[in-house]
Structure 1
Amino acid sequence: MHVLITGANRGIGRALAERYRADGHEVTGTARDGSQAITLDVTNPAQHADVAEALSGRAIDLLICNAGVYLDKGHRFEDYDSDIWAQTFAANVTGVFLTVQTLLPHLRAAQGKIAVLSSIMASHTRAPGGSYVYRASKAAVLNLGRNLATDLEPQGIAVGIYHPGWVRTDMGGTGADLHVDEATSGLLDRFNALSLATTGCFEAWDGSPIAY
C-alpha cells in the first residue's frame, strides 16, 4: 500500500509515517521545511504542481491530510487580526482541498481512501469559547470532508474525517490526555476500517462517533 501523509515531519504525521513504514507499507511524506521526501507547503499552489509532477504515474492507496496549524492557541480576544484568520484557513481548509485536488488522479488509479484530520473542536455541540480561528477552520474542513465524501463516492473513493484526540505533541502540549502511540494505533484502525459504507464519517481516534 502506498500512503501519502502531509505534515509528516512532526507529531501525529511523523508517528503515522513511522508506523506504516514499520508495517511494510510505502510511505511518501511531505513537509514544508524540506525534511521529507517531498517539500510541500499546502498553501502554495506552485508546490502542489511540483508534487503532481513528482508523483506522475504513481497510485495512492491512502491520502492522510494531516498538515495544519493552531496559530491562535492561548490568544486573547484582542489579539486576533485578519492575518491569523487568513493564514489558518489557508493551511487547514484550502490546503486540504488543494491537496485532494492535486492527488485525485493518483487516488482514482487505486480507488484509494482519504483521511482528513479535523478535531472534536469542529463539532457544533462544543462551544466552550476561545480558539476561534482554529475551531472555525476545523469545522470548515469537516464540512469540506463530508462534501468530498458525497462527490467522490461514485468514483470509489471513501473519505473519513477524524479527531486524533488530545495528544502530547508540540501542538497538543505536555498536559494532553494521550500518548502519541495510543492515538496513532487508534487512527490506523480507523483508516483501515474506512470504506464506501462509512464514507463521510466523523469519528474520534477510538472509533467513537462525533456529532457534527
Structure 2
Amino acid sequence: MRVLITGVNRGIGAALDRRLSDDGHEVIGTARGHPEYLNLDVTRAEDFRALADRLDGCALDVVVCNAGVYLDKGHNLADGYPPQMWADTFAVNVAGVFQTVQTLLPNLQASAQPRVAIISSQMASSERAPGGSYIYRASKAAVLNLGRNLAVDLRPLDIAVGIYHPGWVRTDMGGSAADISDDEAAQGMAERIAALALDNTGCFETWDGRPLPF
C-alpha cells in the first residue's frame, strides 16, 4: 500500500509514518520546508502544482490529510480570536484539505482501492459544544462537513472517505496532559485506514473505532 501523509514531520503524522512503514507500507510524506520530505505548504497553490508534477502517474492508495494548526489555544472571548487567525486557520485546516484531495485525485483514481483519511477532531461535533477554542472548533466542524460531502461526490469514483478524531494525543499540539501517546493514536489510525471502504464512507470515528455524533 502506498500512502501519502501531509504534515508528516511531527506529532501524529510522524507517528503514523513510523507505524505504516513498520507494517511494510510505502509512505510518502509532505511537510513545509523539510528537505527530507516532499515540500508542501497547504496554503500555497504553487506547492500543490509542484506536488502534482512530482507525483504525476504515481498511484496513491491512501491520502491522509493530517496537516493542521491550533492557533487559538488559550484565547479568551473578551479580546482573543483576531480576524487574521480565523483566515490562517481555515486556510490550513479546511482549504488545505480540499486542495490536497483535489490535487491528488488523479493519483487516487489510479489505485485499485483508494481511500482518503481526514484528521478532524471530536471538537468538530455540534453535539459536543462546551465553549472556547472557537476558531479551531469551527475549522474542524467545517472539515467534517467537507469530508462528508466529499464522501458523496467521490463514491461514484470508488474512493472512500473517513473523518477521524485521532484522540487527545501527547504532542506539541495536545500537550503533556493528553490521554494517549502518539504511537497509540497511530496504531488506531492505521486500523481505521485498513477498515475504511465504500461501505462506511463518510464515517466520523475516534481513533479506536467509536462513532462520533455529527
Deviation by residue 1:27-83 (Cα, 9 ceiling, x = unmatched): 110001224420000111110000000001100000000000000001112122110
- 1:201 is matched with 203
Partner of 1:120: 122
Q: Which amino acid aligns with 1:148?
A: L
SS of corresponding position for 1:128:
coil
In structure 1, the gaps of 5 or more residues are none
Residue among 169, 180, 183 paired with 2:182: 180
**Aligned equivalents of 1:205 and 1:142: distance in 2?**
15
* Residue equivalent to 1:17: 17
Alpha-carbon distance between aligned partners in 1 of 2:155 and 2:38, rounded to the nearest angstrom: 28
Moved more, 25-34 or 188-197: 25-34
Residue type of the partner of 2:87? A
Structure 2: tracts of 5 or more residues without a match: none
Q: Is the 8 A contact 2:19 2:183 kept in 1?
A: no
* 2:89 corresponds to: 88
Q: Does 1:6 align with 2:26?
A: no
1:148-188: CA deviation from partner (whole Å, max 9, x where unpaired): 00000010000000000000001000000111111111111
Instruction: State the distance in 2 between where 1:58 and 1:30 align.
Output: 15
Number of residues of Structure 1 aligned to a counterpart in Structure 2: 212
After TM superposition, the score normalised by the length of structure 1 is: 0.98
Write out the 4+ residue segments of structure 1 that deviate beyond 6 Å after TM superposition: none
Which residue in the other structure is 1:161 paired with?
Answer: 163
The structural deviation recorded for 1:26 is: 0.9
* C-alpha distance in 1 between matches for 2:92 and 2:159: 23
Mapped to 2, the partners of 1:83 and 1:24 lie a distance apart of 42
From the superposition, tell whether residues 148 and 32 of structure 1 become closer, same or farther in structure 2 (CA, over 3 Å).
Answer: same
Quote the sequence identity (%).
62
